[in-house]
Chains A and B, each alone.
Chain A
Amino acid sequence: MKTRASSLGSAGAILARTVATLLAAVLLASCWRPIFDEQVSSGALFYDKIGSPFRTIGPVSVNSDMIDGAFLPERILDPYNGFWVRKESSSVTVNFIKYSGGSYALSTAATSMPANGGSLGFAGSAYFATNQTIILGTGDGTATTTMSLYTFTAGSPDSLSLTGNYAPAGVQSVLGLGATQVAGSPSDTIAFIYRNTSSQLMAANYTSSSAVPAIGSNAPLDAGTASVDAVGRAFIGVDGAGSALYYYGGGNTVLRWTWTTGVGASGTPATIAVQDPLVAVLSDGTLVCQGKDYLDAYRPDGSEIFSTPAGSVRFVQEVDYSGVEYCIFAQSLFAPKDNSGDTSVYIELWRRPTGSFSSLGN
């Protein structure tokens, strides 16, 4: 017969087993987190608007330390290759992803650029398939920084070397704010945006193209406040008869200066309210902003065109093909091959004519 004492003992055993089970389960599940990434899910929402990718690159076996980077494809309409650019605390590391023989391979990384190191700010980049040159605008927040130009030996992207630091003619010591493709110009036109020692904003063409009405030293833009000094936030855009320089001031503000050839606009810049950081200015003057999850488009006057989740589908650049401009989007996804922990990256590319860019908001 079951006694009360044995009942109590049984209850105690049940309690002990329950507590032990709970603790064991806590240990097992303490690392659990949902399989969810808001950028990936936001990117998937964007699929319905942007359609199927025209190119999928990968899988490319990578190390886990490559995750914090972005794919920079060739500046052509139908790229197969591209750079994998990672910004680190004091340097920029570049790998080359090359398509050959039906598969993709990753080159040895060219690390710690520029060689002089320091507190590097990544000011922007441009990659030319024609001569395999990558241009990195760098800056460290002082007035002694120059733009750095790196060029690969033709046909050998593995051997990336510093070919020299570039500074606009006559200016040897500037605060670099950006190296950006000039919207609406031939695709090899790059403008350097910098701030001189007199707190004047300047823009100069790297190439000999005259697509950008030069402001030169004769028509400086007044930086207005000392806060216009962060690298990677300045962009050049064509605005009607003249040009415009945009500077993302952080938060929800973009500053805008305009000028025409030989006539500088030294007054107070216009202020445009945005929801996400400015990442590009298109050839038609459209401002492209992209944050963690959203892609936003604004007209030059600051009015919103659309705002839509795009997440991991990132705007990369605008390229010119036979006089028609295309917007290139890329999505880089890391996924474990299996439960072993090995990782591969998949890169998908989309293109959309700039003329129909605004329809992405529909």
Chain B
Amino acid sequence: MVSGRRIFAFAAAIFAAVLATVAVGSVGAQAAAASTAATPTVSAPAKKFGEGISMLLQVSGPKTLDLWRYGDTLSAVLMRSQLLHSVHRAYNDDPARLESLARYEGDPVVLDLRLSLEGRHVSARWEISSAEGAAKGTAAGAAAGAAAGAGAAEAKKVEGSFTKPAPSEDELASSFWVETVDAVNGFLSKLQVAHLRITGLPGTVVQGFGDPILLPDSGSLVLPLIVPARISWAAGTPERYPESGVFYASKDGETLAIPRRQWALDFGAYGFAFPELRLSFAPASRFFARATISQFGFGLSLQSPRDGVEEPLTLSFPLLQAGLGLGSYFAPPMKELRTYFATDFFVRLFSPQNRAIYLDPVAPIGVQPSYGIEWGRGPVARLYLEMGAVYYPWAKPGLMLASLGGDSPSSLVFWGNGWFPGENGWFLEIPIFRMGLRLRL
């Protein structure tokens, strides 16, 4: 039987915890969605990752000019530079693409190219920037400017222009862009380049640095980038929780560690009453090992008064369970609701009058298979509920029953052999509940 007042207090606490988890999960999910939606546009990368930096080329001009033709040829010429890794292009007649690039914040350098037609001549004005002044008046430029480092002490900007006769195809591929390319190379050579190490689980795909990065088997790679820089990154694998964040790079030798979420810390309640702590490790996405310390020195009791006597609100037993377990999820990590099965092996330790610690001779070892449900919207905080049974293979059933002190067991119990006090047998208790909050580290 349960006291209504205590049920209400307990339920309110659980509801508050659920709401808090939902709020945290929602924020995380939105951030992850925003990051993963910014699919980068790759302009035929012909180099290994880490060779050079990426650039956003904005091309604008009258519709009478074939802007795509000019942009593509300039991009191809620029890619001959060892300082550039990739060039992303955007045209003023392609608003959707501009919007897409605006959300993509990976390019630290922006080349704003403005073309105009003057009779039979083509006039080009460019502005190369890596700071706030890089992009004025376009969404893409605003995003790129933020990426290049809002905190830069000195805005880096180079401007130039030329007017030449309308070029042939050969001229576009060779001499037409000489001044522009020289200006870009000059600009790039003066930038402060630092090397950033990215670490994470092998196979993790990291976005936010131009092309998507695939972490190698070593789980680590180094890439150059212009600093200072504010990088909004997103990472994930098909079998991992998506991760995202913002990294501020300011000097050489820094490391961006993509959270691996292989460790989890559970703050739970055994039998909904006794706080316990559990640490788990998941080397793979579905399989995990865990260690649990269940203490019974303090617990909550929701029993209603018995024989007119108010039951104490807290319970205390000088008992401790220490266990190791293995388990496997039935669903991948990105699912809001995941179910799993685990089996824990534990020992029961007790301390009579707190003088010394002994292995409990009544039931020294227990095996606890359990079925769990884990729920959460983000990668960090998850609620879980487990239901299982405890099997004591080398117990003294008579003494287990005597340990109830004449009370009926709070669960269903079964036993074999050893009814008489002191005799050996097995003992089974079912069900056993656990619930709590799981934090992935």
Contact = CB atoms under 8 A, between A and B. Distances in A.
Given A33-B273, A346-B421, A25 B433 contact: yes
A23 B2 CA distance: 12
A29 B273 contact: yes
A163 interface: no
A294 B353 CA distance: 8
A42 B17 CA distance: 39
7 contacts: A14-B337, A35-B404, A36-B317, A67-B406, A334-B406, A336-B408, A346-B421
A129 to B, nearest CB: 25
B373 A18 contact: yes
A64 B2 CA distance: 21
A18 B421 contact: no
Interface residues of A, number: 52
Contacts of B355: 293-294, 307
A32 B360 contact: no
Contacts of B408: 336, 339, 341
Contacts of B271: 29, 32-34
A15 interface: yes
What size tier do the contact residues of chain B reach? 35 or more
B296 A34 contact: yes
Interface string A28-61: 1111111111101111110100001100100000
Given A26-B11, A44-B360, A52-B422, 11 more contacts: A15-B18, A18-B337, A25-B387, A30-B302, A38-B319, A56-B421, A67-B406, A293-B353, A309-B356, A346-B398, A348-B422
Of the listed residues B302, B358, B401, B429, the one surrounded by the most CB atoms of chain A closer than 10 A to its CB is B401
A333 interface: yes
Interface string A81-116: 000000000000000000000000000000000000
A121 B387 CA distance: 49
B81 to A, nearest CB: 44
B363 to A, nearest CB: 8
Interface string A294-325: 10000000000001010110000000000000
Interface in B7-33: 7, 10-11, 14-15, 18, 22
Nearest to B387: A25
A336 B353 contact: no
A333 B407 CA distance: 12
B397 to A, nearest CB: 9
B247 interface: no
A174 B115 CA distance: 120
B413 interface: yes
Contacts of A331: 421
A22 interface: yes
Interface in B350-371: 350, 352-353, 355-356, 358, 360-363
Given A19-B18, A309-B352, A27 B7 contact: yes
Nearest to B400: A35
Contacts of A311: 352
A132 B400 CA distance: 35
Prevailing SS type, chain A contact patch = mixed
B65 interface: no
Interface string B402-441: 1111111111110000001110000101001101000000
Contacts of B407: 336
B22 A334 contact: no
Contacts of A14: 336-337, 375
Interface of A: 11, 14-15, 18-19, 21-23, 25-38, 40-45, 47, 52-53, 56, 64, 67, 291-294, 307, 309, 311-312, 331, 333-336, 339, 341, 343, 346, 348
B273 A36 contact: no
Interface of B: 1-2, 6-7, 10-11, 14-15, 18, 22, 271-274, 296, 299, 301-303, 315, 317-319, 336-337, 348, 350, 352-353, 355-356, 358, 360-363, 373, 375, 377, 383, 385, 387, 396, 398-413, 420-422, 427, 429, 432-433, 435
Nearest to B403: A37
Contacts of B301: 30-31, 33
Contacts of A343: 406
A41 B362 contact: yes
A35 B348 CA distance: 11
B403 A22 contact: no
A308 to B, nearest CB: 10
Given A19-B18, A37-B402, A40-B402, A32 B273 contact: yes
Of the listed residues B6, B299, B404, B429, the one surrounded by the most CB atoms of chain A closer than 10 A to its CB is B404
Given A25-B433, A26-B7, A30-B303, A339 B413 contact: yes
B89 to A, nearest CB: 32
Nearest to A309: B352
A32 B360 CA distance: 20
